[in-house]
Chain A
């Protein structure tokens, strides 16, 4: 035994020495940012990709007309300036004359027109098309001016344009049918190599209107296990990484050479009830569930303290204080009374679905919810599903309850119109709408005065929480971890890594 062990140790040291020399043997290039993430991008068509990693990659390569800064304000990207007409029916953009694609060709209003025409074309199958249906026509009076004509006032359309799903792609590439195979954009970097589910290599776009990038390139490695990402950061072999799992992210601050960047995101953890199924069709039952849940406790245990209690609206500009919302303080007695009034004094059984590892805390969340709801006699069966199987069931509304993490938007209208308006595309998922919700949504869409909008959506939020079709739980953080030799990264609630364009490395 003893001898075995020493042998093992010696060979271990020898191997570590070997590793050391191997690392020296391949200098990563002094100013190349070595980045890692667990989930790779799934495609290169900016108008069609919706996966988190795809968006993060494509934001480095493409640009939309406008983008959101770290405080969620709309700021210039390809467009220098913009203006709504007084009647709210036209929206005019002035483009940055210096904007160029990585092929060296300038970005013109024709490219913008072609890009939006492509999004609106059903054959493209762009998921964001739904956000732009109010566009009735486009004019290009000169190469740097684009005018959108709207069929109805649509204040949120500007924010809807501030995503990479509304990226401007070269008109010539659309004609050639090479969007998604050749990634030619006007962003800070260009894609040199993509080996799906393994790695990507990016180099600076010399023609980028924003000037020179701080690094000479970015290599991205896909390390599916986040423990391995942490190990790689610790060993100084990765400069910058995206982390998902709070269990891993919270270990980062303990490391002297590492820094954790933590921003509250717009996405929210929620327990979706299905009001089309008994007994969740009963308002009192839904309210009882909302009252029985202790949101802070879920955060403290399942999320290891990483998150904040939230109502339906997660964007700071619109969010109400959660304590003003219906039953946001756990009240088991009230919950029991509601169950009794609804005729379910003895409780009931239901199945809750959750996706394996998406988010990483889904299973723990479901288990805490299960134990909290047991207090009012609700017996939950947890069904963990592979992500895709889950999405399939979710889209069909085939569940009693679902633990979900849904994406947020900087504006309440595009965030919830799909679920809680009468012609929402995902009504089959929410299975709930009433006149109040629909009315407030339509009002909010037309209103352009920020103060009035805030008032409208506060009413919307309070009503939604009271009707409890879903039980909103918490926002979580989005994490990036970096070596302390990396400077200038500015995290954003949207999760964008755009500021990597300004990042510099020591030595």
Chain B
């Protein structure tokens, strides 16, 4: 495995990836020396170690060396909690408008007693929180930790790390302890590890070859022994298996037994989704924003403020297994299950076991182990995700084909676990950068104009206090913060060419939007972003532009309309088909009348229900499409509206001869972070905040969760 050499400035902060300059030494010590070494360690720094509590084991601050246990089966909670705590302060604030990064702890600590599967999990999470927008909170905690692993002495009742290739790790820790009879072998893998190794004293002896061979025997025993459950296929084959299983009846059957309690996620060492909540102090001015570990099993996980529920119980149940076995492999290159068995321990309904589910699917789809991916029939889901992740080159082969499927025998011989560790590690940022680039801290913006557009929608023009332009592109969104209330994703509605300010339109559907409505010009809000993908306006030059908007869907596309009108000569005809429930829901009425007068612009409007004065049509927005005079080969369609609208509009556009690549949709999902971490906005394996919100229809038509 090739790892990048760290920049010199990183070495002190974070030596995790560093192997050069480390002794790689293995010494042999007596069992009793571990206790005295732990005492020395305790005198020097904070030690978090495995200890017994009520007949189970936990990671907790170690106060005396005697409490250390290295013979534990599995800890109740994963060590991830020391890097992503169950509850963690993200932002502190003081109204009006001071947002600050909370103190990122500075106290180094040793995490002692990690089993290999947990080391593999930490390694995965390192990658998750480093890739894309780095997460300063995770990285800070992680950089302060020294990882001391120990090989498993007592298998837990549900461990299947052997089946996942994580029973033994040769990488990812600073120090590794392996019990050999009444002695321990202690191996250093990093400079940090060398430091801990030195605490055994100068007279510590190198482990003799015979003992190294006995350690090999321990590893062999664990690779074969940590299999209380057997996975009937190599883990590398899971993506292929899942591609063939999306519509299996198993999901419905088993989800009927799922309590949606979230236990499986909350004890998982590779589940990292989080919720964000504000708490305001009694002075009503200061407060803090927290993130809390969340679960994709919970009923409201994918429910948006408007009330639409994007995943029902069956879909939520399925999502977890797909995330572990397909979506994470697609995005990060590893199967995100390390076989610790904690989910099995914690599920009182007995439906959380990944091996149970995967084996049951294998019984139903044995062909996935033998047939080439092309024969699996349901490869489209994987292709769609891969294409969106910018890996079109692999499209031909399909995702499952990328991994060499090994037989079980060859895997047992393999030194390194194949699928659990990231292939290449993204480095952790140095401290000063972590502090300077905190993506969770909003900028302050002032409301320079605000007026109601309808009964429930309000228009705002905002200016960033820093004076910098927002720098958005048409179709992108921002996270709008009201301290003490919360944060909500809101589409930017104005022309990117407007440099000094930007505009949003907010429908009153939730707490943040209701509180926004009570603000007045001169008040401030927090802004993060712009985030997400945009309509590719430059690429659309020369084409006719057809905008299909339903209800508040006119808001994000308005920026594109303004951009087209500003560069009128660059585009062909502009046709706007706008549907709304009733005339009083019409947004930007005055502006629409101005659009109408521009050359080459047609605006068609319709209402669902007619009450009162109305000059347009009556019926759903699709009734306007025949009148749009679509020139299929020459038109780009920008479509935005309520979830129910897409299916009908898209099928009509395709029927009119348009190509899926020329149809752009803007999709709404629940969002908490905006930077691809919190997990809420996922459509199958795709993040709406990263790969969206603007997609082509070609990109999402094979994602079953996109346009249901």
A binds B: no
Contact residues of B with A, CB < 8 Å?
none
